[in-house]
Homo-oligomer: A and B are copies of this chain.
Amino acid sequence: MADSEDITNIALRRSIFYPAAEIYSNSPSGFWEFGPVGEAIRRKIIEFWRKEFVQKEGFVEIYGAQILPEAVFKASGHLTNFNDPIVQCKKCKALHRADQLIAEKIKEIVPESMSIEELSKLIKHHEVECPKCKSKEFTEVRKFNMMMKVDIGATGDIPCYLRPETCQSIFLDFERIYKTSRQTLPLGIAQAGCSFRNEIAPRNTLLRAREFGQMELEIFFNPKKANDFEKFSTIENNEINLMLSEKAGITPIKAKDAVEKKQVSSKMIAYYLAKWQMLWEKLGVPKEKMRFRKLADDEKAFYAAEAFDFEVLTSLGWIELTACNNRTDYDLKGHAKESKKELSVKEEGDSESFIPHIFELSDGIDRPVWVLLDLAFRKEKRGPEERIYLSLAPRIAPYFAGIFPLVKKDGLLEKGREIFKELESHGFDLVFDEKGSIGKRYARIDEIGVPYAITVDYDTMKDGTVTLRDRDSLEQKRVKAEKLPELLWKLQLGLEKF
């Protein structure tokens, strides 16, 4: 298993991700860039989510503006509610998140619902120290709004904000998309894009950044019909890793039993939880390392009636990947009121019009990149040497195979290029490397998670075979170069094992 330093080290060494504007010494923390390898992994995660969850589920996808006017966040509640409690050390002037300082001291989670007065009291009561200068003198706790303001117009007279969550665009567009999509509820609208939060203490690289990707799905539904959900039968016997409380632990339960026992409020929601779990299994998260943690009332976001955090066990412990929230009609109601627009719907068979409820699967993009890298990290002793590789699922590996001519002379280089071109024309993402010893070339692609290596040697020139090497088992076999497209295609789709 990796420790979190391993991921940072490999990320920086191979430019998978790295700090933004890092050539400038005073660049703010919490902004990250993805290099070619990281960008390929990032994009493949999004594409797989899109294919498996958006398209196959019959959802639609939009792409909205990141800057939105103030009225949007008045309606959404973010202007008043999207705050972190902060304190300042009176001695060294450092700013800290009050709840985090307390949590680190008492080794317990501090509920989000706690007031700033209560937090001030707790800081004094537990004699919390400033992590920087060890002073115990703090200002009173105050609220700090995490949204980033941008003033638009030549006189800066149009107050706007960078969206703190991508779903707001979806809520704003719902009415238009609903009318033009010619679909009936439940209607899923998805978006992959960026969100922005002025975190006071960005940390753990991609896990808490100030600018970060989100892929969000907002499913608009009629709460009276949430159990009238035909597709449920296809997964009713699938087990969901539910955790109803810390004490109960993870209790895998069949979707149909979870609904019957009212652990999940409807067939519709249970269906998407089961499907969500399947998505992440396909992306490489072992079943035993995932759970849906049901949130207690004081942990839930201010808009949620029912909430599960989809969490994955990493080298840093359980990390939240996805907020699965039943947001009820909170969002559309708020926007309808503030915009004075009619956002209710009435469909065939409905006796009256109503404001649709929303169930969301709100996922990060950067976080899954980190989590999947963390889960894939392997360090093995092999004699005197250490072997590091990423056992990434082939569908999110940055390249599917490396192509290596053993030497540059005697036509091997040209033969290698020929095979590269042929495989590229079949749509495979490949990396070509002719420099350095073959062992080093293997090590380099192992480290970025490329599943296969194809080596062109003198036998290739004689009998047309190449060596195909498997990243995880290190097994090698000789195969005819002409058979590669079909073989790689089967390996990619999982139709054949190495």
Which A residues have a C-beta under 8 Å from some C-beta of B?
Answer: 13-15, 18, 20-28, 30-36, 38-40, 42-43, 55-56, 60-69, 71-72, 86, 95, 144, 148-155, 158, 160, 162, 169, 172-173, 175-177, 180-182, 194, 196, 198, 200, 210-211, 335, 338-339, 341, 343, 424, 429, 433, 435
When the two chains form their complex, are residues A61 and B33 in contact, meaning their CB atoms are under 8 A apart? no
CA–CA, A23 to B200, complex, Å?
33
With both beta carbons as reference points, the residue of chain B lying nearest to A178 in the complex is identified as B15
Known: A23-B341, A34-B62, A62-B36. A176 touches B144 (CB 8 A): no
When the two chains form their complex, are residues B86 and A31 in contact, meaning their CB atoms are under 8 A apart? no
Residues of chain B within 8 A of A148, CB atoms compared = 67, 150-152
When the two chains form their complex, are residues B67 and A39 in contact, meaning their CB atoms are under 8 A apart? no
When the two chains form their complex, are residues B198 and A95 in contact, meaning their CB atoms are under 8 A apart? no
When the two chains form their complex, are residues A210 and B23 in contact, meaning their CB atoms are under 8 A apart? no
CA–CA, A72 to B23, complex, Å?
10
When the two chains form their complex, are residues A154 and B144 in contact, meaning their CB atoms are under 8 A apart? yes
Pick the residue among B23, B39, B339, B424 that contacts A23 (CB under 8 A): B339
Give 8 nearest A-B pairs by CB, closest first.
Answer: A20-B65, A36-B60, A31-B65, A15-B180, A34-B63, A23-B339, A33-B64, A39-B63
Given contacts A23-B172, A27-B69, A30-B152, 15 further A-B pairs with CB under 8 A are A20-B65, A20-B67, A21-B71, A22-B172, A23-B343, A24-B71, A28-B152, A28-B158, A39-B63, A56-B424, A66-B194, A67-B210, A86-B154, A149-B150, A150-B150
Pick the residue among B33, B60, B155, B181 that contacts A169 (CB under 8 A): B33
With both beta carbons as reference points, the residue of chain B lying nearest to A40 in the complex is identified as B61
Pick the residue among B23, B150, B172, B181 that contacts A162 (CB under 8 A): B150
With both beta carbons as reference points, the residue of chain B lying nearest to A158 in the complex is identified as B28
CA–CA, A339 to B26, complex, Å?
10
CA–CA, A22 to B66, complex, Å?
14
9 contacts between A and B (CB under 8 A): A15-B177, A15-B181, A20-B172, A28-B69, A35-B60, A39-B62, A42-B63, A56-B424, A150-B162
CA–CA, A32 to B62, complex, Å?
11
When the two chains form their complex, are residues B65 and A211 in contact, meaning their CB atoms are under 8 A apart? yes
Residues of chain B within 8 A of A149, CB atoms compared = 150-151
Residues of chain B within 8 A of A40, CB atoms compared = 61
Known: A33-B169, A63-B34, A198-B152. A180 touches B71 (CB 8 A): no
CA–CA, A411 to B18, complex, Å?
56
A143: min CB distance to chain B, Å:
11
When the two chains form their complex, are residues A180 and B61 in contact, meaning their CB atoms are under 8 A apart? no
When the two chains form their complex, are residues B21 and A68 in contact, meaning their CB atoms are under 8 A apart? yes
With both beta carbons as reference points, the residue of chain B lying nearest to A176 in the complex is identified as B15
CA–CA, A320 to B425, complex, Å?
32
Known: A62-B35, A180-B15. A153 touches B24 (CB 8 A): no
